[in-house]
Amino acid sequence: MSAALASLLRYGKNKANQKLQEINLDDNGLKDDSFALILDAISDRNDLLVLNYNNNGLGLKSVAALSKIFSRKNANE
């Protein structure tokens, strides 16, 4: 399911009428690989304001993807 969500997020980023402001992934049983896949899909989106990710797995891959997102956002400010 994370691969399908990542594909949808990548597809929607170039659609002017499809703004993504919040993603709620609370308690979905996601693991590090799945979360990293989703993070890679949203890494270049500027419209996302909130990402909720409680009670799921977090590991090296997703932390690396998060740091890439944060460093890009800080560079744009």
Q: Give CA torsion, residues 40, 69, 31, 22, to 10 deg.
A: -90
- Residue 47: count of CB within 10 angstroms of its CB: 11
Tokens of 15: 């659609």
Q: What is the extent of the structural domain holding 8?
A: 2-76
* Sequential pLDDT tens for the chain (77 residues): 889 989 888 876 666 677 788 999 999 999 999 999 999 999 888 888 899 999 999 999 999 999 988 887 667 66
Report the run of H or E that residue 23 belongs to, with start and end.
Answer: strand 22-24
Give the number of domains in the chain: 1
